[in-house]
Structure 1
Amino acid sequence: MTQPRKEPPEGQLPSARDDIALDTAALRVLAHPVRLALLNELRRQGPATARRLARQFDLDSGAASYHLRKLAEGGLIEEDTGRGNRRDRWWRALHAGSRHDPAESGGPDGRAYTRAVALAAAETLRRAATQIVPVVADEWFAVSTFSDFTVHVTPDELAVLKGEVLAVLARYRERPPTDGSAPVVVQVQAFPAEGPAAPEPAPAP
């Protein structure tokens, strides 16, 4: 399942062109919010050790190492052999992002992965609320946003809306870093505001 490795220039992260389409095996590996959070951090910030990631995510170092090995077995990260020593192994992401089409794999594996994505996104927001918002520089705070909107659309219209939003993000993902730029997390969630209505109780005999 591992795609050919494209080495980015020294000091740069993988390009959005190197996104991986998740197959069933990768979906199963990522159906755990901790693994997804670790993978996202490696993709955003570059190589890191299990020890540093454990501190950052308040994990036992053994648990962090276990999840990193699972990600490596799934072809999503690899050991960065140019760094580290016997005590500290460094890990790096193999792809800039993941692609998953619920229309093609919406079974149990796809739904478990999507649940992990939602939980990881919620944890990212929690960390932003406690670790970023109180201390971020005024110039960044002024242009940040934590918003949600409710729109009324059909499934076909939601597919179009999603495609339009992702197309805008794709343009920005391909731009190289510039002076004054910094990694910014942009979360996109779109889902029905309510689940299916509960069935009416059967009339008493």
Structure 2
Amino acid sequence: MPEHVRRVADPETLKALTHPLRRRIMRELDRAGTVNSSTLATRLGQNTGTLSYHLRQLERYGYIEDVPERGNHRERWWRRTNTSWETPDPTGMDPADRAVIEQVTRRKLASDARDIAGIVDNLAANWDRDHPWTTWSRGGTHLTPEEFAEFHAEYQKLLFRYGHRIDEAPPGARAMRIRFYLYPEPGEDDD
């Protein structure tokens, strides 16, 4: 994984994303690349003071960063950092932290389910434009714990080798959603 990529796997940092306005800010940064609080205020229907507070919280937890070359003495511009979210190990976690992990995980999975449900409708409406950019596959296998860890590490390397923020993307690049789930077969007894 590139050194500039930050992995998020602790409950306190994930808790920063439980606020709905912060999630909206993150989506807007995905779309726009860089924004300032005035731009966000207009797009999200919020006042700049409120947005400035939430931007500072997202910066505090490493989700966004200042873009010094865009700012001046009166305004700051922001962009997403290269951040990877992964499920933390709940071993030894207190119940409140586990609840945060469950809340964030359920919200992310619900969002993914909505996106996936819309794929066919989107393709039907935009077939010529989007068909060459859309694919999916399903599979299964049997893995040892060591193979599981290696498989996941290889996936992460692939993702980060091709991953670009909007401000780093080469010409002709489009925003792509990539989702990866690797989990035990439901109902299978452990040996």
**Alignment CA distance shift 1:165-1:91 (3 Å):** same
Question: How far 1:172 moved relative to its partner?
Answer: 1.0
Q: Quick one: structure 1 residues 178 and 106, their matched pair in 2 at CA, closer, same or farther if it must change by over 3 Å?
A: farther
Is the contact between residue 41 and residue 51 of structure 2 (CA under 8 Å) also seen in structure 1?
A: no
5 Å matches for 1:59-138?
61=45, 69-70=53-54, 72-75=56-59, 76-77=63-64, 92-100=78-86, 102-103=88-89, 107=93, 108=98, 109-130=100-121, 132-136=122-126, 138=128
More helix by share: 2
Alignment partners' CA distance in 1, 2:113 and 2:27: 13
Report what 2:176 is aligned to.
Answer: 184
CA positional deviation for 1:77:
3.7
- Report deviation, 1:141: 0.6
Matched, 1:147 2:147: no
Task: Give the aligned partner of residue 25 of structure 1.
Answer: 12
Does the alignment pair 1:39 with 2:26? yes
Q: How high is the TM-score relative to the length of structure 1?
A: 0.57
Which stretch has the larger CA shift, 25-34 or 65-74?
A: 65-74
Identity %: 23
- Distance apart, 1:145 and its partner CA: 1.0
1:148: Cα distance to partner?
Answer: 2.7
2:184 alignment partner AA: P
**50 and 40 in structure 1: CA distance in 2 versus 1, 3 angstrom threshold:** same
In the alignment of these two chains, the number of paired residues is 168
Contact 1:80 1:90 survives alignment (8 Å): yes
Q: Contact between 1:36 and 1:116, CA under 8 Å: does it hold in 2?
A: no
Gaps of 5+ in 2: none
Which segment is superposed worse, 150-159 or 35-44? 35-44
Q: Is the 8 A contact 1:47 1:93 kept in 2?
A: yes
Q: What is the letter of the counterpart of residue 121 of structure 1?
A: D
1:86 match? none
What CA deviation, in whole Å up to 9, does each residue of 1:96-117 have, x standing for no partner? 2234452378841334333332
